[in-house]
Structure 1
Amino acid sequence: MTITRVAVLGLAAAITLRVVGVPRVDLHGPLHYLGIMDPLCGGTRAMFLLTSGHPAAAAHYNPIVFPFAAVVLAQLARAAIERATGRRFRLSPSPAVRRVLITIGVAALVALEIRQQLHADLLTRSWP
């Protein structure tokens, strides 16, 4: 599956979430009930709030929705430009840059995990 297809599916999921609302079914894994949050905890609520025009509330539940939304929109814009111009755009970072980006990504995920764990009381509350 191409990155553009994943971006289209992500956009469709965000729109569906906005129209239908937060699912009533429990999507949590077993560790959630032991008080152990994962980096994606609160992501559904955050995406619903972001698509509803409440970015501050979205950040409160899970700030990872902002880079996810930015990547989806950037990929869709890239695909539209490629289609309109017929030119392909490729990003090929050097191995050194790739290592730095991976290190930053891992550090950001660790920081997000710690942040989500500190907000466990909010993330385990039922949705109003």
Structure 2
Amino acid sequence: MSGQRSYHAGLQAERSVARQYLRAGYTFVAHRYRSKSGEIDLVLRQADTVIFVEIKQSKTHARAADHLSERQISRLYDAASEFLGGEPAGQLTNTRFDVALVDGDGMIEILENAFAG
């Protein structure tokens, strides 16, 4: 996929994932939140929990998941920590990290609490 087509496909994937969360009752907070540490694709709220979402797109869900590196996960945690610095409860805020996988047909698979051990 060319750079321009890939960029637009990524934007479409982000919009589709955001719509799915919004239909499920989540509240939108930020799209492409940028911090010194990196970028978070989507930030949402559900009750008292802040949800950070990393979106990966590829031909299949498995290939999309393969695109998520340890370095990206580390940057996601660091960026989330910066975001939480602005929350009333700070680092004590309830959080969840989801990964949304989007395949070539636009089908979405959301892995809630994806990094829980």
TM-score class normalised by the smaller sequence: under 0.3
Query: Structure 1 length as normaliser, TM-score?
Result: 0.26
Higher helix share: 1
TM-score, structure 2 as length reference: 0.28
Q: Which has the higher contact order (CA 8 A, sep 6+)?
A: 1
Q: Please identify which structure carries the higher strand content.
A: 2
